[in-house]
Amino acid sequence: MRTIVDAAYTGGNKSALSVKKPKVVFVLGGPGSGKGTQCANIVEHFGYTHLSAGDLLRAEINSGSENGTMIQNMISEGVIVPPEVTIKLLEKAIMESENDKFLIDGFPRNEENRAMFESVTGVVPEFVLFFDCSEEEMERRLLSRNQVAKWVGRVWSWVRWGNGQTWFEPKCGRVDDNIDTIRKRFKVFVDSSLSVINYYNSKGKVKKIDAGKPVAQVFEAVKAVFTPIDDKAAA
Ligand SMILES: Nc1ncnc2c1ncn2[C@@H]1O[C@H](COP(=O)(O)OP(=O)(O)OP(=O)(O)O)[C@@H](O)[C@H]1O
Ligand SMILES: Nc1ccn([C@@H]2O[C@H](COP(=O)(O)O)[C@@H](O)[C@H]2O)c(=O)n1
Ligand SMILES: [Mg+2]
């Protein structure tokens, strides 16, 4: 059945992606499950280009775009930005790249993201990498990421001003890595993002990874997914 989103986006201008036909892997998982960390490893070993939807939105805020304030407010609240904004950023990044294979990290975040991306671009993912991790572990990781960012900021300001004193607390890290927003992000993940994973699971496209283990062990499991079947037989 066609949704309202499908109807609005078919018959209009065709996306340039329908010509480029990139190979896309969606990388999904709860906040702090390790998507960015593992994408960096995949890029190094398998030649993909990593596009984090969250990073693209943060770059859009910093570019001074007219959508900047709206995006900033939505990220601070942990809610999902309108899909046309995120999809435009993803299309632009894919078209500007010479690569033809992409890890799209943190997208689609809900059914609206998914349906609009597929109908606007005509691109369906090769598969979906799903990092499965407990909320307790994700919460620990996000709070620790926030602490590390704060310390990096303090050291930077100490070096910058050179007198061993910080007379301001530098604004470092992510605005959404605080306990209130982290809990809101968990709720959005359960209420809106899991249904996307279920959808692709019903199509046999989900590769689930136990992401609660140390980084190197998680990457061993990831490698097994990306290593071509022929290579596995030869190994
Ligand atoms: N397997 C792991 N074990 C322990 N810490 C990890 C692991 N993977 C990532 N981390 C750490 O957890 C934090 C979150 O990781 P990362 O940024 O990769 O997650 P993410 O899924 O991209 O998060 P977000 O959804 O907030 O963008 C980082 O500080 C990272 O160094
Ligand atoms: N498809 C998306 C992806 C992200 N957002 C917003 O960005 C925030 C941070 O995302 P990360 O993947 O970097 O954790 C997220 O909480 C959303 O506010 C979005 O709206 N749509
Ligand atoms: Mg990330």
What is this structure's pTM? Answer: 0.92
**Residue closest by Cα to atom 1 of ligand 2:** 107
Q: Considering the domain 22-134+193-234 in this protein, what is its CATH number?
A: 3.40.50.300
Interaxial angle between packed helices 35-46 and 215-226, expressed in degrees from 0 to 180 and rounded to the nearest 10: 50
DSSP letters spanning 58-71: HHHHHTT-TTHHHH
Looking at the CA of 83, which ligand is closest?
2
pLDDT for residue 55 is more than 60: yes
Nearest ligand by distance to the CA of 81: 2
Of all protein residues, the one whose alpha carbon is nearest to atom 10 of ligand 2 is 54
Report the SS3 class of residue 214. Answer: coil
Q: Does the ipTM exceed 0.95?
A: yes
Q: Is 173 in the pocket of ligand 1 (CB under 6 A)?
A: no
**How many CB atoms neighbour CB 30 within 10 A?**
25
Q: What is the pLDDT of residue 7?
A: 43
Ligand 1: residue of 132, 138, 141 to mutate (most ligand atoms within 8 A of CB) is 141
* Whole-number pLDDT of residue 13: 63
Q: Which residues contribute to the annotated binding site for ATP?
A: 32-37, 145, 213
36 pocket-lining for ligand 1 (C-beta < 6 Å)? yes
For residue 222 the two structure tokens come to 């990831």
146 within ligand 1 shell (Cβ under 6 A): no
Name which residue leads in pLDDT, 10 or 114. 114
Q: Could you tell me the distance, in angstroms and rounded to a whole number, from the CA of residue 210 to the centre of ligand 1? A: 13
**Given the CA of residue 81, which atom of ligand 2 is nearest to it?**
20
Apex 233 CA angle, 229 and 235, nearest 5: 115
Determine whether the shortest distance from the Cβ of 212 to ligand 1 is under 6 A.
Answer: no
The mean pLDDT of the chain is 91
Report whether 235 contacts 224 (CB < 8 A): no
pLDDT above 80 for 230? no
What's the whole-number mean pLDDT along residues 214-227?
97
Q: Say which ligand is closest to the CA of 38.
A: 1
Given this model, what pLDDT does residue 167 score?
55
Ligand 1, atom 12: closest residue by C-alpha: 141
Does the pLDDT value for residue 166 go beyond 90? no
For ligand 1, say whether the CB of 164 is within 6 Å of any of its atoms.
Answer: no
- Domain residue extents for the chain: 22-134+193-234
Q: How far is CA 233 from CA 114, 127, 228, in A?
A: 34, 21, 9
**Predicted confidence band of residue 9 (pLDDT cuts 50, 70, 90):** very low
215 CA: nearest ligand 1 atom: 1
CB-neighbour burial class of residue 120 (10 A; exposed 0-12, middle 13-18, buried 19+): buried
β 101-105/127-132 pair status: unpaired
